[in-house]
Amino acid sequence: MKIYLHEKSIFNDVYWFAFNAFKLSGAELDAFIIYQALKTSKGLFGRNNNYFRTLTEILCTRSYQQILEIKKMYYKLYKMDLTDSICSKMKGSLRTFFYNVLTMSRYPRENYRSIDVRLFTEVIVVSKQRSFYKKNKEKFIEIFSRTNFKDIKNMITYLNEEPNGNITIYLKGILASRLRKCAHSICKSCFNSGQYCMDKEKYFAKCLNKYIRNSNIKGAISIILTRSEIDLADIIMEYQDLYKKGPIDDMLKLWDTKSKFINYFLRPLCQII
């Protein structure tokens, strides 16, 4: 490992990332992953992705207290303000969303029954008039950047009883804005198995599988390392239940040239013999 810790090149990029990340944990590890993503327009999770995906993977799945710790470690390690580093790359509604996530605590929302489902479902402009979503985008941002995860889950459950109330189907897809993709990362449909507000182990198991299928080895490494001290064993079990085999088996099929790295580094982390 030592020869890869200090010198980074296009030939040892994956090993440099994995071994340097391995030294870290918790907020320090999250800060490292975000910093590496912000340094390159390609991000960590593949050639066709950018830092936005990295940010949603981390910041949309952490509590405000965890985000405060990430901000402290980011400044300690890199002498830079995380809020400025991120918001300087954003504009408009997306900038407001991440600014709220980074600087404001989430609070209970007991009046979720009064939320108009059109805020999530009425997106397309009709007769040259702004959609209900466009007219009320500030409220949309406030809901997903400020409401605590428990009440987002309650809101989803309640709205699912309304006609066309499965709101998450309107938050995803190729045409979905980045803001709506952030909301989708926070609240998957409670009828889907991989739903963060309901079942984070299945959520991360599905993320891990997606990274492996898309040959995003750094994405897979990030999931394994960031969850290794929290719930990785449960995530591996969920992965096996969902896909009938373990992630290491899937990795070896795709990355046979890195079999030693997978067997001697990632396999022990996944606690698989």
Could you give the angle at which helices 217-227 and 247-254 cross, rounded to 10 degrees?
160
H helical segments located in 40-116: 51-59, 64-78, 82-87, 92-103
Could you give the angle at which helices 51-59 and 26-39 cross, rounded to 10 degrees?
160
pLDDT band per the 50, 70, 90 thresholds, residue 270: confident
Question: Alpha-carbon distance 47 to 81, whole Å?
Answer: 27
Contact yes or no for 164/175 (Cβ under 8 A): no
Helix, strand, coil proportions of the chain in percent (round to 5)? 65, 0, 35
Question: Alpha-carbon distance 122 to 125, whole Å?
Answer: 8
Per-residue model confidence (pLDDT) at position 168: 79
Q: Which domains does the chain have, with CATH numbers?
A: 1-102 (1.10.220.10), 112-190 (no CATH), 198-272 (1.10.220)
Per-residue model confidence (pLDDT) at position 190: 39
Least confident among 11-25, 40-54, 67-81, 245-259: 40-54
Q: How far apart are the first and last CA of the chain?
A: 21
Per-residue model confidence (pLDDT) at position 197: 57
pLDDT band per the 50, 70, 90 thresholds, residue 122: confident
Mean pLDDT on 103-118: 90
Between the CA of residue 270 and those of 24, 42, 232, 256, 264, what are the distances in Å? 17, 27, 7, 18, 11
Question: Alpha-carbon distance 168 to 180, whole Å?
Answer: 9
pLDDT of residue 61 exceeding 80: yes
Mean pLDDT on 174-192: 74
pLDDT band per the 50, 70, 90 thresholds, residue 77: very high
pLDDT of residue 137 exceeding 60: yes
Closest listed residue to residue 58, CA positions, set 22, 88, 28: 28
Tokens of 235: 């995530």
Per-residue model confidence (pLDDT) at position 170: 83
pLDDT band per the 50, 70, 90 thresholds, residue 203: confident
